[in-house]
Structure 1
Amino acid sequence: MTHIHYVECNTTHSGHFVIDVPVGFHWLLVITKTPAQFWVNGALKEYPAHSAVLYRPLQKVYYQTCGDSFINDWIRFESEEAYITELPLPFGIPFSLNDPEYCSKLFELLVTEHNFNRDYKKSSIDYLLRTLFNKLLESISQEDITPQYYNLLRLRTSIQNNPGDYWTIAKMADYLQISPGYLQSIYKKTFGVSCMDDVINSRIRIAKEYLIHNTQSIAEIASRCGYQNVEHFCRQFKKITGYPPRKFHKHVANQPD
């Protein structure tokens, strides 16, 4: 198991903040929410917000603000778990996170679990840490993480969480304050699917759940999924699933467990 000495999220420091531990101490993971300077390979280098850096025990730790303030999530801990000790990460070298908001939510949960003495505290912390370190691994394998990528990710998250909203290419482009044509180009390049196909797939995914577990009419389900025209909903549903909405429930019910 892993023992957490201290964990904080959204910690704000002044512009004169410096951490200087020449010989290190325990494991330390820092995730920045503002730009900061880190000591890397014998020199101070500036790294952007949403960077993560993992220090192994007894490794030199030095970082500081490079603006009016510094905001970060951080955790100091001891662990012999292989998913941490054998992790193929660049120790002491910051790298960009591919989903900083997701990681921030994990930190919030870690703070809660650490501060409250609950029955399943140890196992809950272990699962949260495993998930967090999985996100770190995903991040180092992804290239070209830019500020524009984070904007696109927020848009995609909003689409998938609210598929029933009135999404149009113009609305999505306005959300990012870019042209519709540029949006369509970079969205597909980034996620491998067009922005409107993402909307449609998200709508059909939730429509299938409504059809299986709900007693609403097809028209009501279509409306909840963002369709103003029932016939259009039925055509798209059949195109993606291979079944008309009315036959989909029967098809699922006949599938073996």
Structure 2
Amino acid sequence: MIQIFDGGIHTKHNRGFIMKRKHGLPEFLLLFIKSEAVFILNGIKTIVAPPSIVLINQKTAYEYANPNGAYIDSWLHFNLNNKTDFPSLDILGNQFFTCRKIPQLETYLEKILWEKEYASTTFKEKNIELLFQLLVNNLVDAYEQKDHLIHNHPYYYSFQELRLKIQVNPTIALSANELANTLKISVSHFHHLYKAFFQTTFKNDFIRFRIEYVKKMLITTDLTIEEIMIVCGYQTAVHFYRQFKQITGTTPSEYRKNNER
């Protein structure tokens, strides 16, 4: 069973803030460090650059601050009645590591705090346990990827978000120019990073996602092919049929016939 005591999302402390606990705490403290900071854990000083994560173990003496300005973090105080339920947490204890996935991890943390305050008694404990397992799984994955150059690239997480947006909305035509502008980078740099991150071009990915959606519509709806073409964002039949044939090797009508349920 997990005990959630309290937590915060993007908590900002003004310059001069310092936290000291010379005997530590009886619970764990998970910190998503979002500003420069200096930590002292069990007498060992570490200068930490954002974005970083640390899980401070129980009864660990610590202090931390940002001597150069505001200190910002997200945090969670928790305890485990049976630590063996989450053995992977052991590798995270008192280890600082860079993590570009903090925005994603914060969504789990925020949901845990929400469930703690507002979930009905019937589901509270189970919901928190499931969300906490998701958080731990992603923390361990981030730790194991900490030395991976691609995963630690400043734009990698932003590109993952954009790619998912394209994948779940393939009917919306988003140009490389628009996406590059949202990231405040040049179009050529956008294309270079996209290929490096996903081993394919933005154009090919977009076409593939759209055709996958067309295929799903062909075998799960009673819409005509022309209606599907319009729903999936195609403006001309020639363009639609040519792309579908290039990707699948068959026509829409043949694909529907061969994949009838």
Query: Fold-level match, TM-score > 0.5?
Result: yes
Identity of aligned residues (%): 28
- TM, length-normalised to structure 1: 0.83
> Which residue, 209, 216, 223 being the options, matches 1:216?
223
> Which residue, 110, 121, 134 being the options, matches 1:131?
134
Q: Which whole-Å CA distance do the structure 1 matches of 2:157 and 2:68 have between them?
A: 21
- Residue 147 of structure 1 aligns with an amino acid whose one-letter code is P
Aligned to 2:171: 164
Deviations along 1:104-143, whole A, 9 cap, x unmatched? 2112211110112411111111111111111112212322
Q: Which whole-Å CA distance do the structure 2 matches of 1:160 and 1:171 have between them?
A: 16
Q: Secondary structure at the match of 2:86?
A: helix
- Residue 141 of structure 1 aligns with an amino acid whose one-letter code is E
Q: Which whole-Å CA distance do the structure 2 matches of 1:213 and 1:67 have between them?
A: 58
* CA radius of gyration, larger in: 2
> Contact 2:38 / 2:45 at 8 angstroms: preserved in 1?
no
- Residue 84 of structure 1 aligns with an amino acid whose one-letter code is F
- Residue 210 of structure 1 aligns with an amino acid whose one-letter code is M
> Which residue, 238, 241, 249 being the options, matches 1:234?
241
Q: Which whole-Å CA distance do the structure 1 matches of 2:171 and 2:54 have between them?
A: 38
- Residue 73 of structure 2 aligns with an amino acid whose one-letter code is N
> Contact 2:244 / 2:250 at 8 angstroms: preserved in 1?
yes
After the TM superposition, which residues 104-183 of structure 1 pair with which residues of structure 2 at under 5 Å, given as runs? 104-118=106-120, 119-142=122-145, 143-144=148-149, 145-183=152-190
Q: Which whole-Å CA distance do the structure 1 matches of 2:223 and 2:68 have between them?
A: 54
Structure 2 unaligned segments of length 5 or more: list them: none
Structure 1 residues 70, 167: CA separation in 2 closer, same or farther (over 3 Å shift)? same
Structure 1 unaligned segments of length 5 or more: list them: none
Q: Secondary structure at the match of 1:89?
A: helix
Q: Which whole-Å CA distance do the structure 2 matches of 1:201 and 1:105 have between them?
A: 29
- Residue 155 of structure 1 aligns with an amino acid whose one-letter code is L
Q: Which whole-Å CA distance do the structure 2 matches of 1:83 and 1:188 have between them?
A: 40
Aligned to 2:64: 63
Q: Which whole-Å CA distance do the structure 1 matches of 2:232 and 2:58 have between them?
A: 50
Q: Which whole-Å CA distance do the structure 2 matches of 1:37 and 1:164 have between them?
A: 48
Q: Which whole-Å CA distance do the structure 2 matches of 1:186 and 1:56 have between them?
A: 38
Deviations along 1:184-227, whole A, 9 cap, x unmatched? 22222122332222222322333333334434333343344333
Structure 1 residues 60, 233: CA separation in 2 closer, same or farther (over 3 Å shift)? farther
- TM, length-normalised to structure 2: 0.82
How many matched pairs? 253
Q: Which whole-Å CA distance do the structure 2 matches of 1:12 and 1:155 have between them?
A: 28
